[in-house]
Amino acid sequence: MKNGIKVFAPASIGNIGVGFDILGCALDKPGDEIVVALTDAHEGLRITRITGGKLPMEPEKNTAGFAALKLLEHLGESKRGIDMEIHKKMPFGSGLGSSAASAAGAVLVINELLKNPLSKRSLLPFAVLGESIASGAMHADNVAPSLLGGIILARNSSDVHRLHTPKGLYATVIYPKINILTKDARNLLSPTVGLKQMVQQTSNLAGFIVGLYNSDFDLIRRSLQDVVIEPQRAQLIPHFYAVQEAVLKVNGVLGCSISGSGPSIFALSQNTLAAAEAGIVMQQIFNTHKIENQLFISPINQEGAILL
Ligand code: HSE
């Protein structure tokens, strides 16, 4: 697209095990690119091109398109002629926050195109609306880190808090190439949680956050255990427990669980060496079982979505 404005929005790890729907962190790569340009050729928003995957071209059915429409409506700019291109540079249905990245990129690029009428943070509710098309629910655990960067506690789409990232914290994510739709992975969850699990999970979430602030890797390691969601979703991911068991044996690995709604599996480590070793261990297991996979190793991205 000629004269377009382009943004990059990164992948993210939703839930980080202990914070279902409320915790997430951004990765450096992979990520999606969204390009927009003003046009006099028509009124309103049009998606003119999508590369890297088959997604709806109708803006109201597309996570990036819907997020952009909602933002434009809020700004009273619904009639503005805009062409949008979406370049998917990561797999969707992967648990890497792909739909969230497109929604985050879309709101940032529209805001840039219109000369930044809103702050980056106040774009979040529109991106959350966009992502809800793919997920079937409103949660900001992927959208907030993809837009804002860092490790984020998102109580809801307007009450979001960046948590401290300890020096050395690294993420390893493996995507075994099977498709899980977030909607399906949500529908299988029990609507209730037992009292015992509730106590364990809240103490793990609290311990994890205190561990981040104090750079206390031992506390993070003890706390990074999901006793509520992981046991319900693990069956969707072939060899999940074998991968987790092997990864947790690596010196310097702090925890290992399901990234977002899966099938990707993440590990957090206290240094790059451990992160790389965790990646080797993960790949070995999927390769042995002839399951095609993709590996990503990244520090916690502190920028979120950026103008290119
Ligand atoms: N928190 C969401 C879930 C992340 O686990 O269903 C996926 O978008």
Distance 112 CA to ligand 1 centre (A): 28
What pLDDT shows up at residue 99? 93
Which atom belonging to ligand 1 lies closest to the Cα atom of 21? Answer: 1
Q: What is the DSSP letter of 258?
A: E
141 lines ligand 1 (CB under 6 A): yes
Task: Kindly report the CATH number assigned to the domain that includes residue 145.
Answer: 3.30.230.10
Same domain, 153 and 176: no
Q: What averages of pLDDT result for each successive group of 10 residues across the chain (308 residues)?
A: 92 98 97 97 97 94 97 97 96 92 98 97 96 86 98 94 98 95 91 98 98 98 98 97 98 98 97 98 98 98 98
Mutate to test the pocket of ligand 1, among 16, 21, 201, 205 (most ligand atoms within 8 A of CB): 21
Same domain, 187 and 115: no
Range of the structural domain that residue 80 is part of? 5-163+303-307
Same domain, 116 and 258: no
What pLDDT shows up at residue 189? 97
Residue reference for tokens 């999970």: 201
Same domain, 117 and 189: no
State how far the alpha carbon of 154 is from the alpha carbons of 12, 74, 150, 170, 261, in Å: 14, 22, 12, 21, 17
Contacts (Cβ under 8 Å, ≥6 apart) of 111:
71, 117, 118, 120, 123
**How many domains does the structure of the chain reveal?**
2
Percent of the chain scored above 70 by pLDDT?
A: 100
Ligand 1: residue whose CA is nearest its atom 4? 260
State how far the alpha carbon of 164 is from the alpha carbons of 101, 211, 298, in Å: 22, 9, 17
What pLDDT shows up at residue 288? 98
Same domain, 65 and 114: yes
